[in-house]
């Protein structure tokens, strides 16, 4: 593979060239279009041969940094490897060929899978009922807060429009609260990363609709006082929402239902075997406690004896309604089903164990090598935060410089500058499927870059050096975006 810069396809264009160079010539104009409707000049499309087009896009695809080719320790959004078998079985022709409008008697197999998926998600989260219909994480969040609002409305408790969001929560949470017509109110976290319980106590009251919490939080630590948080919010009349962004860390170990949560969304595309980060499709299934069950979005799969059927508005008259045309993204749901059946109860617990073991191993080795943990007194969950404040101060080499230099060493960069609470931070999540050798290789690269920062800072600040595209001027790109190719004026 060469890393020479790839021309854009328009630069390969030659007048008159096309996929049809060897085709029999046919100069007959299309005579069924009135002349007034025919265009006088061809559109501005690249004129290349079929082989040019194939090579161009194949070369671009070979330059992907992807989980199939590189270690991808992007914290906060689990970018884990998804076993290929999950996709293979979700693509069985019997699944692919099922028409969503076919009568349920013709789709009992598919419905049985969805029913069992609902049951398995209930078991792994400790919730009482599940709906699979939301089609993304944010969609699931919306469903969750909409149910909290519907619950308060059904009790004529109409003043409750405030959603509390700890500073360490997932970034989408305040946006969800706003989308649902609530006011988001931030609750600070203490120096150890846990929610400031005194501030929470002072913030709850008769306008509290609920709290949205991510546990483990985006600081990569487990909220140790979760039961106390739950009690405070419940006693004030509010409900608890669990953001499932970091579910990978706790699979088979603790359950949001047991922590006291009333509603949870699960990113099936993060944790349960659909590639995440490609912009979809996703699945943000929601699980609820008994008191929110009547408000679940429909349809849900119900079972009567040996038969399965869709439960709809007639079965759940208080439902918040429908969130998708049919029942969610069938392909993503099927992959989650296969993944959970493949691993079973024991295997899912090992996902949680390996994910946290790998994170703690990596954290311990990096600390040994002289890097600073943002929360040194805390054990990591499935991810952890380094702060490069010292390196920035001493060598003027920033977290961004480290991230860019990692690309030269063949590693996708971790998340940079998030969470905002920690200066010069890298948020690192190795996930459960990486081997010890891969993790050691990453540590070695970090140590090497640390040495370069001391002795050859310019090398790090100028990175990447080996990729087809060098350091981007992201300030100029944001201030003067140039998004459209235009032909050069001859």
Partner 1 sequence: MSPSKIPADLRYARTHEWVRERPDGTLEIGITDHAQSALGDLVFVELPEAGRVLGAGEACAVIESVKAASDIYSPVAGTVLETNEALVSTPETINQDPYGAGWMLRLRPAESGTADGLLSAADYQQILQSESA
Residue 200: closest CA among 161, 243, 235, 172: 235
**Binding positions for partner 1, 16-75, rule CB under 8 A:** none
Q: Does 483 bind partner 1 (CB under 8 A)?
A: no
For partner 1, give the closer residue by CB, 84 or 390.
Answer: 390
Q: Does 475 bind partner 1 (CB under 8 A)?
A: yes
**Binding positions for partner 1, 333-392, rule CB under 8 A:** 389, 392
- Rounded Cα–Cα distance for residues 57 and 6 (Å): 10
For partner 1, give the closer residue by CB, 259 or 422.
Answer: 422
For partner 1, give the closer residue by CB, 437 or 474.
Answer: 474
In DSSP notation, 417-479 reads S-STTSTTEEEE---TT--HHHHHHHHHHHHHHHHHHHH-HHHHHT---SSSS----HHHHHH
Query: Segment contacting partner 1 (CB under 8 A): 25-33, 72-80, 87-95, 474-482?
Result: 474-482
**Binding positions for partner 1, 258-297, rule CB under 8 A:** none
Q: How many helices (H) and strands (E) are present in the chain, helices listed first?
A: 16, 13
Q: Provide the 8-state DSSP code for 253.
A: T
Nearest 10 degrees: Cα torsion 104, 108, 111, 116:
150
CB of 255 to partner 1, least distance (A): 34
- Cβ count within 10 A of residue 281: 14
Q: Does 479 bind partner 1 (CB under 8 A)?
A: yes
Q: Residues binding partner 1: what is the number (CB under 8 A)?
A: 11
- Cα 362–216–84 angle (5° rounding)? 65
- Rounded Cα–Cα distance for residues 101 and 79 (Å): 34
Alpha helices in 190-329 (DSSP H): 197-203, 226-235, 256-259, 268-271
For partner 1, give the closer residue by CB, 314 or 479.
Answer: 479
Q: Does 409 bind partner 1 (CB under 8 A)?
A: no
For partner 1, give the closer residue by CB, 313 or 473.
Answer: 473
Q: Which of 423, 441, 462, 464 contacts partner 1 by CB under 8 A?
A: 423
In DSSP notation, 124-173 reads HHT-SEEE----SHHHHHHHHHHHHHHHHHHTT-TT--EEEEETTS-THH
- Rounded Cα–Cα distance for residues 130 and 55 (Å): 46
Structural contact between residues 440 and 87, judged by C-beta atoms closer than 8 angstroms: no
CB of 400 to partner 1, least distance (A): 8
For partner 1, give the closer residue by CB, 126 or 423.
Answer: 423
- Cβ count within 10 A of residue 384: 28
For partner 1, give the closer residue by CB, 478 or 488.
Answer: 478
Q: What is the helix (H) or strand (E) element at residue 311, kind and residue range?
A: strand 307-311
Query: Segment contacting partner 1 (CB under 8 A): 216-224, 314-322, 401-409, 475-483?
Result: 475-483
For partner 1, give the closer residue by CB, 104 or 183.
Answer: 183
Query: Segment contacting partner 1 (CB under 8 A): 142-150, 215-223, 327-335, 471-479?
Result: 471-479
How buried is residue 325: exposed, middle or buried, by Cβ count under 10 Å (0-12/13-18/19+)? exposed
Q: Does 420 bind partner 1 (CB under 8 A)?
A: yes
Q: Which of 417, 441, 457, 462 contacts partner 1 by CB under 8 A?
A: 417
For partner 1, give the closer residue by CB, 158 or 475.
Answer: 475
Q: Which of 1, 36, 478, 483 contacts partner 1 by CB under 8 A?
A: 478
- Cβ count within 10 A of residue 474: 9
CB of 478 to partner 1, least distance (A): 4
CB of 475 to partner 1, least distance (A): 4
CB of 199 to partner 1, least distance (A): 14
Peptide bond preceding 464: is omega within 30 degrees of 0, i.e. cis?
yes
For partner 1, give the closer residue by CB, 154 or 420.
Answer: 420
Would you tell me which residues interact with partner 1 (CB under 8 A)?
Answer: 389, 392-393, 396, 417, 420, 423, 474-475, 478-479
């Amino acid at each position: 593979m060469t890393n020479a810069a790839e021309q854009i396809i328009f630069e390969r264009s030659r007048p008159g060239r096309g996929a049809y160079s060897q085709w029999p010539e046919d100069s007959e104009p299309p005579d069924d279009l009135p002349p007034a409707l025919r265009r006088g000049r061809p559109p501005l499309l690249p004129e290349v041969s079929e082989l040019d087009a194939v090579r161009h896009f194949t070369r671009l695809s070979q330059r992907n940094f992807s989980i199939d080719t590189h270690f991808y320790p992007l914290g906060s959004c689990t970018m884990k490897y998804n076993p290929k078998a999950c996709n293979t079985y979700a693509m069985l022709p019997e699944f692919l060929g099922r028409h969503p409008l076919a009568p349920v008697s013709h789709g009992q197999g598919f419905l049985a899978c969805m029913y069992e998926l609902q049951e398995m998600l209930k078991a792994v989260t400790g919730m009482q009922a599940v709906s699979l219909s939301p089609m993304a994480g944010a969609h699931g969040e919306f469903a969750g807060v909409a149910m909290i609002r519907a619950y308060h409305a059904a009790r004529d408790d109409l003043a409750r429009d405030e959603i509390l969001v700890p500073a360490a929560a997932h970034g989408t949470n305040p946006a969800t609260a706003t989308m649902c017509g609530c006011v988001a109110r931030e609750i600070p976290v203490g120096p150890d990363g846990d929610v400031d319980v005194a501030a929470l106590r002072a913030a709850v009251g008769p306008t509290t609709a609920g709290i949205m919490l991510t546990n483990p939080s985006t600081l990569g630590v487990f909220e140790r006082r979760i039961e106390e948080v739950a009690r405070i919010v419940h006693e004030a009349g509010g409900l608890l929402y669990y953001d499932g962004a970091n579910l990978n860390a706790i699979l088979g170990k603790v359950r949001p239902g047991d922590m006291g949560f009333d509603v949870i969304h699960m990113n099936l595309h993060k944790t349960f075997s659909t590639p995440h980060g490609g912009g979809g499709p996703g699945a943000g299934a929601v699980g609820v406690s008994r008191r929110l069950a009547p408000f679940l979005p429909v349809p849900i799969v119900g079972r009567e004896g040996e038969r399965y059927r869709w439960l709809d508005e007639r079965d759940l008259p208080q439902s918040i309604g429908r969130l998708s045309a049919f029942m969610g993204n069938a392909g993503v749901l099927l992959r989650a089903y296969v993944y959970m059946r493949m691993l079973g109860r024991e295997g899912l617990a090992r996902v949680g164990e390996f994910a946290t073991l790998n994170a703690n191993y990596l954290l311990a080795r990096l600390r040994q090598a002289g890097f600073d943990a943002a929360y040194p007194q805390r054990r990591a969950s499935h991810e952890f935060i380094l702060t490069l404040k010292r390196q920035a101060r001493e060598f003027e080499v920033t977290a961004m410089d480290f991230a860019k230099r990692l690309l030269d060493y063949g590693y996708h960069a971790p998340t940079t500058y998030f969470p905002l609470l920690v200066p010069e931070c890298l948020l690192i999540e190795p996930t459960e499927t990486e081997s010890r050798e891969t993790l050691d290789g990453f540590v070695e690269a970090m140590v090497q870059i640390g040495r370069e920062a001391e002795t050859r800072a310019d090398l790090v600040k100028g990175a990447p050096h080996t990729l087809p595209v060098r350091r981007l001027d992201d300030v100029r790109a944001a201030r003067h975006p140039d998004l459209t190719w235009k032909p050069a004026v001859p």
